[in-house]
Structure 1
Amino acid sequence: MKILVKTFTDTLTGTFSYIVYSEGRRECAVIDPVLGYDFRSGKTNTKGADDILAFVMSHGLVVTWLLETHMHADHLSSSAYLRSKVGGKIAASEKVKSVQAVFGKIYNFEPQYYKAEGLFDYFFREDEQFEIAGMPAIALYVPGHTPADVAYVVNNEAAFVGDTLFAPDLGTARCDFPGGDAKQLYASAQRILALPAETQLYLCHDYPPEGRERQSVVSVLDQRSKNIHIRHGVDMATFVKVRESRDATLAMPNLLLPSLQVNIRAGVLPEPANNGKRYLRIPLNEE
């Protein structure tokens, strides 16, 4: 059975979303779909999600999984919107529960905000096996960027790695969010790089330097030989020093505060207030 992958790009946030399906089967999975959000006006839009829906409908596909690789800090998830249109189970790592608890405190949310019915449908246990469109898949735990990062390895030929690895000339993801850890990221990257050399790694983001086109997929072999942070021969101590030095220079993502309070609810927007309007919380002077 051959894996088929359709890639969608949100140019504003540099995010890749994917539909994963196979020949001769109608089932499919959607990975890391984006809900458009303009932080200046506070307005959301479903343009990217509707492009995904159009492909699903035109190809006669049935969405069984809506998979999140982690709780994104740079865009809002459209998984809940897609579920409302075509069904499917919203799933992520079981470690999402720890991320919910941390950010629940930051935003001063009651637990019901992120534990309510109708949010996530399923949490994968560590390295749990499951199926996408008749193909074997595994939810490979790869913490470090956040505690809840997971790479979805499908059909022993492709892995959807979230933010753990970027294109070789950009290296790896930051580790300075709550619960992030550079040593864990190093170990997680080694798990991914231990996959067969020909395995195709589908990235969640790319921020290409001038003169290079955006790149959504790279082989394990290329990461082993070319990744500026984690290529063959780089030991943990060297990686941690480089990663932590780099993180100290990075600004917070523009959409971190709006994104996380939506994403810990599986992309379900906050309930309307007594005036019928929905509101996001922005903590002031947060360290």
Structure 2
Amino acid sequence: MIGFIGSVFSPWYRWSGRKDPANHCCINVATYGPGGRFTMTDRGRSALRVSDDILRVGPSSMRWTGQELVIDIDEIGALPMVSRVRGQVRVTPRANTSVELPLTPDGAHVWRPFAPVSDISVSLEAKGWQWSGHGYFDANFGTRALEEDFGYWTWGRFPTASGATCFYDATRLDGSTLTCAASFDAAGNVSEVDLPQTKPMSRSLWALRRECRADPGHTARQVKPMLDAPFYNRALVKTRLNGEWTTGVHEALDLRRFRSPLLKPMLAVRVPRVPKWRFNG
């Protein structure tokens, strides 16, 4: 689940000139496996309500209680699996961090891992979509479009015996690179760690280049597909980092592909636009 004010992957936001982020907001939900759904409805300004503790976008919301993030979902899945996605998700951090990572030297893009080690409880109104386990809660902030500054990046978040390890590896359009690896313990303490070099993985279904870190003599491999797009891939990946086997979420993003104007009409099929909304009460 991702809450957007200024839906960065929405073609409608791009076509609008990205002048009014509040007029292009959404709560994106993706479920995986048999019967999996994808929702990313681009909604207008009238659907947005924001306070210190609540992000509400049309029929769905994210609410911070002081101890947990409660996400109430009431969305419609995109083509070709059009059906209602409704229920509640609760994310309970084991600890919160104060870490911020600028992704560009001028701070135009910032990564904020609020709770890299969390517990999650999922209860959606569909058979088999109820479970609890290991969770994660972060945010990204930006004042420019991603494709204005980046060509390609990979990101990963992998559970460890002591907490979780996250990494960002990116190539900026000016030729510079970003390399960051951080280890978080269950108390929210963070330390920079030296991780092994990135190695090529198998390409995605859309032939997207993928890389992931892995110890010498080992190669990361996909164990579960999650989300495939021409410019983006999310997958459950197994790798060995500093002597520890771990399975976590990995993403690869090719922003050179995303810049293609031919891609935007394709995205519009998966990202419908609902410009007006009226709240009851």
Q: State the TM-score, normalizing by the size of structure 1.
A: 0.28
Q: Which has the higher contact order (CA 8 A, sep 6+)?
A: 1
Q: State the TM-score, normalizing by the size of structure 2.
A: 0.28
Greater strand share, structure number: 2
Greater helix share, structure number: 1
